[in-house]
Amino acid sequence: MAQVTRVTDHGGGVWSIPVPIPDNPLGHTLVHLLDTDRGPVLIDTGWDDPTAWDTLTAGLAACGASVTDVHGVLVTHHHPDHHGLSGQVREASGAWIAMHTADAQVVRRTREAEPSRWLDYLEEKLAAAGAPEEHLAPLRATRASGRTNLPGQRAALPDREIVPGELLDLAGRRLQAIWTPGHTPGHVCLHLEEAHPAAGEGLPGHGRLFSGDHLLPEITPHIGLYEDPDDMTVTDPLGDYLDSLERVAALAPAEVLPAHQYAFTDAPARVRALLDHHEERLAGLLALLTTPLTPWRLAEAMEWNRPWAQIPFGSRNIAVSEAEAHLRRLVKLGRAEAVPGSNPVMYQAI
């Protein structure tokens, strides 16, 4: 059984449990336990994996609880390293699962979608973005083989809705949901409005913020397109994210409890750093777009955590989605435009 060695008591009935993510450089998801008068409530649950499950249950024991005691699960967003074990927790305890309606729709759509429909959509989307034939060929081969196993097809459907701006129904606690779209369309942060346990020691700010992936101390979260093969709405995820950052800064929490890395203070300073980062990145992309480029070529030219040649197949799809999200933002700001008649579509700075 996995051993938990870094369960952290944050005081005031709040703990964090680092639940491992298999084969992922992030290492783990910080699952937070919030004690309530009706029993423990989890904020996220971790990846659907036997080792992760063993770690979560051992971590709950280290916090003085059992998985059978869990009263509810609050999901910050639908990604599998956050929502993966929610169904198993519900089966073990009878807990409810709550999620923002926009991400609940993603879960429902993913469960119901024919894998071939998704593969067709992905191939069409990548071809329109200028992906080369050698990148598209494996998608066609996978579809032809019939061996498809898309992530998220087992994800649990939530049975409660997280409504932004309302206090959640948690006995003895004051926790409010803040809608923070960008990383996903229904991402939420959760603001524990109660006084921070260290408030008497001069710690400035207002309560604590469970920030999911929205606000991390050192990592800039991935912002890609919101994917729905049946919805042609032109969304602006990066614009959503930047607006959401401003909302979180205005809360000025005394401490941020993110889902990765570690807890930190001075959320407004971190927000300013992220806003500056994205402004610099948009300016850098505009410089690249003095020559018309497809989204694929733009992704190749962007700076990543390793050279493009070393980025694996699936991660290249994510990188192109991020390039397209930045292009959407530049177009909306009137700083770039699609080249008329280009196929695959190219973009240029204005």
pLDDT tens digit sequence for 262-281: 999 999 999 999 999 999 99
**Largest Cα–Cα separation, the chain:** 64
Give the span between the Cα atoms of 71 and 37, in whole angstroms. 10
Give the span between the Cα atoms of 255 and 268, in whole angstroms. 11
Q: What is the mean pLDDT of residues 310-323?
A: 94
Q: Which residues contact 114 (CB under 8 A, 6 or more apart)?
A: none
Phi, psi (degrees; rounded to nearest 5) at 219: -100, 140
User: Cα 225 from chain centroid?
Assistant: 12
pLDDT, residue 232, reads: 79
pTM attached to this predicted model: 0.94
Mind listing the pLDDT tens digit for each residue in 143-199?
Answer: 887 666 665 567 999 999 999 999 999 999 999 999 999 999 999 999 999 999 988
Scanning the structure block, which residue is given the tokens 């050279």?
307
Name which residue leads in pLDDT, 292 or 147. 292
Give pairs for 299-306: CB < 8 Å, separation 24+.
299/323
pLDDT, residue 148, reads: 62
pLDDT, residue 45, reads: 98
